[in-house]
Amino acid sequence: MIVNDLTGIILTAPLLLPLVVAMGIHPIHFGAIIGVNLAMGGVTPPYASILYLGMRIGKVEFLDILRPAMTFLILGYVPVVFLTTFWPDLSMWLPRVMGFVR
């Protein structure tokens, strides 16, 4: 099943939101979690729509891009996923500054 980020949000957010709220997670924080995780799904194989598009534009073979992409994911993206998920104040800082959350 091919799902882009918007479709993934439309399909999963309404299903998971009641569970997440029951667990005590703020809906804005849940939005940050789901956004970061779906974005990471767009650049990780086997789905990797963004990765495959970049390969076509750059005329690069899959095996040539795989090692740098996985290095970036492990060293750059996985820490962001963990920080977003397990440090709610980081995700909620800007909404609090803008006055959306008290």
Q: What is the pLDDT of residue 2?
A: 61
Around Cβ 95, how many Cβ atoms within 10 Å? Answer: 16
pLDDT at 1 over 70: no
* Backbone phi, psi, residue 63, to 5°: -65, -25
User: Which tens digits make up the pLDDT trace of 37-83?
Assistant: 988 887 777 777 778 888 899 999 989 988 988 898 899 999 999 99
Q: What is the pTM of this model?
A: 0.81
| Residues 93, 33, 85, 45, CA torsion sign | negative
Q: For residue 97, what pLDDT is reported? A: 95
Q: What is the pLDDT of residue 54?
A: 86
